[in-house]
Chain A
Amino acid sequence: MTVKFFLFMFIGMLLSCGTTPDFDSSLADPSLSPEAVIKEPELHRGKLALWGGIILQTQNLKTTTQIEVLAYPLDDDNEPLIKNMPLGRFIIDHKGFLEPMIYAQGRTITVMGTISEVKQALVGASTLSYPVLSARQLHLWPAYDKRSRSTFHFGIGIEL
């Protein structure tokens, strides 16, 4: 009896160990992809999106932080499935400062936010459209091994 109880407790503890962020995904439209927003920006402005992917670049602006992300489909825990085909790029617009060495290139992130605009930027010689999400909730996924942990990746132009 007690053994069963402890076993139950132990399994419960194991399950609760994983960091699962509680995004209220019911509010976001799962069919809304970065590509769909680029096609009809006016139609989707102000809508709530739940997207995630790999950080490509983090830029600190005067009062905000802009994170460029390569989007991937999300699993049931809203963690990006980075082995799938990417869904396009988008930009997270966060009010305030985020440490660029932690929100670093290569880290996985999930964000819930409202679609504010579609921005144009150059990638190589081609112009790319980026949907911009005003972040309401951010979750940086833990880096599991050294290869994916680029928390202290010093290739980026950070100056002091």
Chain B
Amino acid sequence: MRIKYLSAFVSFAWLLTALLLPACSSHIPASIKHAPDAAPDITQVRQHADRYLSQTVRWGGVILKTENKKNSSWLSIIALPLNKVGEPQITDNSPGRFIAIIDEFVEPLVYKPERLITVTGQLMRTQALNIGEFSYEYPVIKVDHYYLWPAKPESNVADYPPFWWHDIYSPLYSPYYYPYPFPRKSNLRDP
């Protein structure tokens, strides 16, 4: 008898999960979620930009700087690998930097350094700008669609030990202060 209820509950839980999962990612615009066919990656473009001019790409990464021009906004971005739905994945394997030109004003206090963004658009040209003394060829994208990924909550809280570490009733408690020895999981994902 009990098992029957349990299995009913399990299938209900599955149903709920199945309903919730698509709901979670539904706010991502379709233009960002789907990669264009046969789009070049940054490494290819930086090597042979002329081959890929005016091709549509979907690139994303971490915002480095946002500049508001008269009629547009220039974002320089450190590209990162994207997952299936186009969300940048935080790793050390950056394919390079690029510039995204958006045809409108974006709020620089929102589109600020460290935020993750994904854009689709056409490769216009490359532009050499110095990083230190190195002349870096930035691919320049004229943006059609852009999506700023929700900011992860600040992980300050996560750096504190779990509640039981300083709980006097916990079996692991000691009256002497010990810093929590294990690194806590932060909100940033590592490779």
Contacts and interface: CB of A to CB of B under 8 A. Distances in A.
Interface of A: 59-63, 65, 97, 99-102, 140, 142-147, 149, 151-152, 154, 158-160
A19 to B, nearest CB: 8
Contacts of A63: 134
B130 to A, nearest CB: 7
B159 A147 contact: yes
Contact of A158 (B64, B67, B96, B159): B64
Contact of A160 (B76, B114, B133, B155): B76
A97 B43 CA distance: 13
B155 A146 contact: yes
B132 A59 contact: yes
- Secondary structure at the A interface, as helix, strand, loop or mixed, is loop
A152 B62 contact: yes
B136 A143 contact: no
Given A62-B133, A146-B155, A160-B64, A151 B90 contact: yes
Given A102-B78, A144-B190, 8 more contacts: A60-B134, A61-B132, A63-B134, A99-B97, A101-B78, A142-B92, A158-B64, A159-B131
B65 interface: yes
Contact of A145 (B132, B133, B183): B183
Give the size range of B's interface with the partner: 20 to 34
B188 interface: yes
Contacts of B184: 145
Given A154-B114, A160-B76, A144 B92 contact: no
A65 B131 CA distance: 11
Contact of B134 (A62, A102, A147, A149): A62
Contact of B113 (A62, A65, A144, A154): A154
A62 B135 contact: yes
B186 interface: yes
Interface in B32-72: 62, 64-65, 67
Nearest to A62: B133
B129 interface: yes
14 contacts: A60-B132, A61-B132, A61-B133, A62-B134, A62-B135, A97-B131, A100-B131, A102-B78, A142-B190, A145-B159, A145-B183, A146-B187, A154-B114, A158-B64
Nearest to A66: B132
Given A151-B90, A151-B92, A160-B64, A99 B190 contact: no
B191 interface: yes
Contact of B131 (A60, A146, A154): A60
Top 6 closest A-B pairs, CB basis?
Answer: A60-B132, A60-B134, A146-B186, A160-B76, A154-B113, A144-B183
A106 to B, nearest CB: 13
Interface in B147-164: 155, 159
